[in-house]
Chain A
């Protein structure tokens, strides 16, 4: 009874266009979650029952839809929550898929991998944009070791954030930029992050340029920072406190002032260390 209704709900959720207002999807989702509660499948503890695989798949689908919907609505917190809820389901279903390939669990076998990688890929991207590299790599490690043969780099959804991370780390920002253009993004949900990533790499480039170039002509700064027009460059330069003169950008040199202080700091450190050694020696001898 309840599960049939849930299936219908899910079908509606899946069929709903990506542009559907979030409030609407949210309402559908909360109804779906209530139904899940009735079926006692909100958490994966009910896995013991005979209908468990089907129920689990239903619950998982619900959460997946929720996750995707919250990404579209740009609600990272809700998305993170959904991902956390999904994780045990993935582990359970994966084991079910391994063990009970012949036990009729094949119903969701096709859909199983696709959504999982998509959601995980999105999660990775989210971690990346939030600068949580530690979590990013923990997640990645779990994928490559515990995923049971998931080809991380070859996968369309998973490979994307992995490549982005690598390029960001080594500094090939132009590749990141290209990867964010239309057509390169594996699916529209990934596009949500493009904006954040763009501003992220722009500030990275800006801080590198400050140190690397003595001065830059406005025109090449435009292409360097992936900005639309020279006006935007001037605006950006102003926001970072750069001086624009004769079509050239000059970066304020921050090091000169700090030199003396550094010197002072250094002698202080030497004194402290030496005192420390003396004290230690005293305790030893």
Chain B
């Protein structure tokens, strides 16, 4: 049985890893919308569905449960919320310790995942208490602790404070427990430093002390760069993330060229280089995404393009980072008029985005951009997109826009642009939408070509609100050349004569549509196969199980022969499977 346990645990870790990824959009969305408390809610179902054999649904909860059990053993009944939070924080130290000892990043990820649940209860006081209890004033990293205390405005708290009376009971089992490290005796490991640092960043961000947060993040980043520890990788990704977030929100705000985000580029680039050299996938993915975002905020499109062409986004990066990367990539491509690529990336981004409410902001933004790109490609987006309850209001301006483009009414189109210019500008789609003008005209011409077998250029000019008949003539000629309509022009008599529309099923169109769909299905199949995770050594377990089952079968057969089969045996076999 002991040999089996790690195997059994494996799926949990996978599930947990996913959960960790789900958690990440949090900070990013925080800039868009603060209501992301549902984040944690995401984690349990995915895991519960994945693994039902291991009881604790949420890892952090599981840790809490363990502590609770410890306490119950000590005979403590009621739990103070402050102590509870500090407890939670400290329980993560054990995880980090284990991560270092076993050299396994999964434990660090688990610690990171618990941040979101701690976040809701975290206050500067609690954090200060946790810090002061963790560090000894004489320890080597006391300096770090002081920085943190200063950052959260609790610099008067002295280090090395003995835990309060209610904490004593708790710290004892820790010191005695097999995983608990004797912090009083040993120096604090850098992972714990950084973990507390991240908590400090979170506190500062939640209380909107941006300038302070930015300075502290800068310090923390420096500190991370000074230590070279692989176990720090996933933690440092998080640190860079908050670093950039602070820089972005500190005045002067991004579009202005002297925003601090310009200043952090060298740091991020250096971090990227280091991460690539160390094969630190987490940091690499995070930093690439941050840099792209950074460039796009100041509209340095060509730099963003260069970055993409010169770096390789890690293949096994966290799902959410991939989604973001695809979104930014799609954005860059859309600006560069490479709509087909943009469409591909954005579709993937919207699909990869977490489907829960927590990342709604991301989904909305990506969908908006996707809609515009679809329009630019000459497609009309699906009506169902606008019906989703979570999207309906956010997409309303785009809905009107699509309607105008679909009908080909230039007048409506311009009124809508004028009316919603602010919304479009805020979404960063304004310049893209301006490019739609020609599509509106083309659609208008197509509608007219479909409805009339012959129409004078003057009428076209009037209906589409074009400047002059000459313009209309040129525009129609161009549309014919671009294959928008099948028609001929008669210059002398000034009309457009539509050709008979052939049977669409006689063309290659249906074949192509069919091929596209099949390809999408095949790609989906391939991706699903790739996405499956197979726990290590599971096959051995199965072999063993099979052997056992066979033995049992044999026994059963024997029993049947002997004629004393009862219900229990059957149930037993079921369990074994």
Interface residues of A (CB under 8 A from B): 91-92, 94-95, 98-99, 133-135, 137-138, 140-146, 148, 166, 169-175, 204-205, 207-214, 216-217, 220, 224, 266, 269-270, 273, 277, 280, 284
Contact = CB atoms under 8 A, between A and B. Distances in A.
B475 A172 contact: yes
A137 B335 contact: yes
Contacts of B522: 280
A172 B467 contact: yes
Nearest to A216: B491
Contacts of A205: 474, 477
Given A135-B302, A137-B431, A171-B479, A166 B437 contact: yes
Contact of B480 (A95, A141, A143, A211): A211
28 contacts: A92-B257, A94-B257, A95-B258, A134-B336, A135-B336, A140-B431, A145-B298, A146-B299, A148-B256, A166-B438, A170-B437, A170-B441, A171-B479, A174-B471, A174-B474, A175-B471, A207-B481, A208-B480, A211-B477, A212-B476, A212-B480, A213-B490, A214-B488, A220-B491, A224-B473, A269-B511, A273-B511, A273-B518
B225 interface: no
Contact of A174 (B300, B470, B481, B489): B470
Interface string B249-292: 00010011110000000000000000000000000000000000
A190 B258 CA distance: 32
B330 to A, nearest CB: 14
A259 B492 CA distance: 30
Nearest to A165: B435
Interface in B46-94: none
Residue among A148, A212, A273 with the most chain B CB within 10 A? Answer: A212
B467 A142 contact: no
A98 B256 CA distance: 9
Nearest to A143: B299
Main secondary structure of the interface of A (DSSP, over half): helix
A144 B438 contact: no
A146 B298 contact: yes
B182 interface: no
Contact of B481 (A99, A172, A208): A208
A57 B467 CA distance: 43
A138 to B, nearest CB: 4
Interface string B481-509: 10000011111100000000000000010
Contacts of A95: 256-258
Contacts of B386: none
Contact of A138 (B335, B430, B438, B481): B335
Given A211-B477, A212-B477, 9 more contacts: A138-B305, A166-B437, A169-B435, A169-B437, A170-B438, A172-B471, A174-B474, A175-B467, A208-B474
A137 B487 CA distance: 31
A208 B477 contact: yes
B301 interface: yes
Given A133-B337, A141-B335, A280-B522, A146 B257 contact: yes
The 6 A-B pairs with the shortest beta carbon distances in the complex, nearest first, are A171-B478, A138-B301, A208-B477, A95-B258, A134-B336, A212-B477
Contacts of A174: 468, 470-471, 474
Given A204-B478, A214-B488, A144 B471 contact: no
